[in-house]
Amino acid sequence: MLSSIISKCRHVGYAAGYDRRLKFKAVCWNKLNCRPFSSLIIKNGLIVNADRKFEGHVKVQNGKIIQVFEKNSESEEFSFQADTIIDAKGKFVVPGGIDPHVHLEMPFMGTHSIDGYREGTRAGLAGGTTTLIDFIIPAPGQDLVDAYKEWQGRAENNTCSDYGFHCGITYWDDSVPLGMERLVKEYGVTSFKVFLAYKGSLMINDEECLKVLETAKKLGAIVMAHCENGDMVERGQSKMHDMGIFGPEGHYFSRPNDIVEQEATHRAIALARSVNTPLYVVHVMSPAACDEVHRGRSSGQVIFGETLASALGVDGTHLENPEFRHAAGFVMSPPLTMETNAKAELMKRLACDQLQLVSTDNCTFSTSQKELGKLDFARIPNGCNGIEDRLSVVYSEGVDNGLLSICDFVRVTSTAAAKIFNIYPRKGVIQKGSDADLVIFDPSQSRVVSYKTHHHAVDFNIFEGMKLNGVVHTTISNGVVKYSVDGDRNTNEFIEQFVGTGRYLQRDSFGFPFERIDALDKKKEERIRKKSNNFSQVHSLSINFANIYNIEISQSIYLILKYFILTQKK
Question: Please, what is the minimum distance in Å from the beta carbon of residue 103 to Zn ion?
Answer: 6
Question: Please, what is the minimum distance in Å from the beta carbon of residue 332 to Zn ion?
Answer: 9
Question: Please, what is the minimum distance in Å from the beta carbon of residue 133 to Zn ion?
Answer: 11
Where does this chain touch Zn ion (CB under 5 A) — which range of 37-45, 112-120, 358-366, 548-556?
A: 358-366
Torsion of Cα atoms, 512 then 514 then 515 then 516, to 10°: 140
Question: Please, what is the minimum distance in Å from the beta carbon of residue 163 to Zn ion?
Answer: 15
Q: What is the DSSP string of 9-41?
A: -TTHHHHHHH-GGGTTTT--SSGGG-----EEE
Grouping H, G, I as helix, E, B as strand and the rest as coil, residue 337 is coil
Nearest to Zn ion of 361, 435 (CB atom): 361
Where does this chain touch Zn ion (CB under 5 A) — which range of 45-53, 155-163, 321-329, 354-362?
A: 354-362
Non-local CB neighbours of 360 within 8 Å, separated by 6+ positions = 99, 101, 102, 308, 309, 310, 385, 386, 387, 390
Tell me the three-class secondary structure of 526-554, residue by residue: HHHHHHHHHHHHHHHHHHHHHHHHCCCHH
Nearest to Zn ion of 361, 437 (CB atom): 361
Rounded alpha-carbon distances, angstroms, from residue 421 to 177, 426, 455? 20, 11, 26
Nearest to Zn ion of 361, 496 (CB atom): 361
Question: Please, what is the minimum distance in Å from the beta carbon of residue 226 to Zn ion?
Answer: 7
Nearest to Zn ion of 226, 489 (CB atom): 226
Nearest to Zn ion of 57, 226 (CB atom): 226
Rounded alpha-carbon distances, angstroms, from residue 499 to 95, 141, 168, 223, 341? 21, 33, 26, 31, 40
For residue 394, list its beta bridge partners.
none
Where does this chain touch Zn ion (CB under 5 A) — which range of 11-19, 83-91, 355-363, 448-456?
A: 355-363
DSSP 397: I
Residue 290 to residue 346: CA distance in whole angstroms: 8
Give the residue from 303, 228, 305 showing the smallest Cα distance to 272.
Answer: 303
DSSP 89: T
Question: Please, what is the minimum distance in Å from the beta carbon of residue 382 to Zn ion?
Answer: 9
Grouping H, G, I as helix, E, B as strand and the rest as coil, residue 256 is coil
3-state helix, strand, coil in the chain (%, to 5): 40, 20, 40
H helix and E strand count, the chain: 20, 18
Nearest to Zn ion of 23, 154 (CB atom): 154
Where does this chain touch Zn ion (CB under 5 A) — which range of 152-160, 328-336, 356-364, 444-452?
A: 356-364
Near Zn ion in 14-73, by CB under 5 A: none
Question: Please, what is the minimum distance in Å from the beta carbon of residue 366 to Zn ion?
Answer: 18
Nearest to Zn ion of 224, 418 (CB atom): 224
Question: Please, what is the minimum distance in Å from the beta carbon of residue 269 to Zn ion?
Answer: 19
Spatial contact of 274 and 210, defined as CB atoms under 8 Å apart: yes
Nearest to Zn ion of 282, 404 (CB atom): 282
Question: Please, what is the minimum distance in Å from the beta carbon of residue 101 to Zn ion?
Answer: 6
For residue 65, list its beta bridge partners.
60
Instruction: Please give the size of the binding site for Zn ion, defined by CB under 5 A.
Output: 1
Nearest to Zn ion of 334, 428 (CB atom): 334
Binder among 105, 292, 361, 388 for Zn ion (CB under 5 A): 361
Nearest to Zn ion of 249, 361 (CB atom): 361
Spatial contact of 136 and 151, defined as CB atoms under 8 Å apart: yes
Where does this chain touch Zn ion (CB under 5 A) — which range of 15-23, 360-368, 481-489, 501-509?
A: 360-368
Select the residue whose beta carbon is closest to Zn ion and give its number. 361
Where does this chain touch Zn ion (CB under 5 A) — which range of 183-191, 214-222, 361-369, 415-423?
A: 361-369
Sketch the per residue contact string, 78 through 97, with Zn ion: x for CB under 5 A, - otherwise. --------------------
Residue 463 to residue 385: CA distance in whole angstroms: 9
Question: Please, what is the minimum distance in Å from the beta carbon of residue 310 to Zn ion?
Answer: 11
Q: Could you list the residues that contact Zn ion (CB under 5 A)?
A: 361
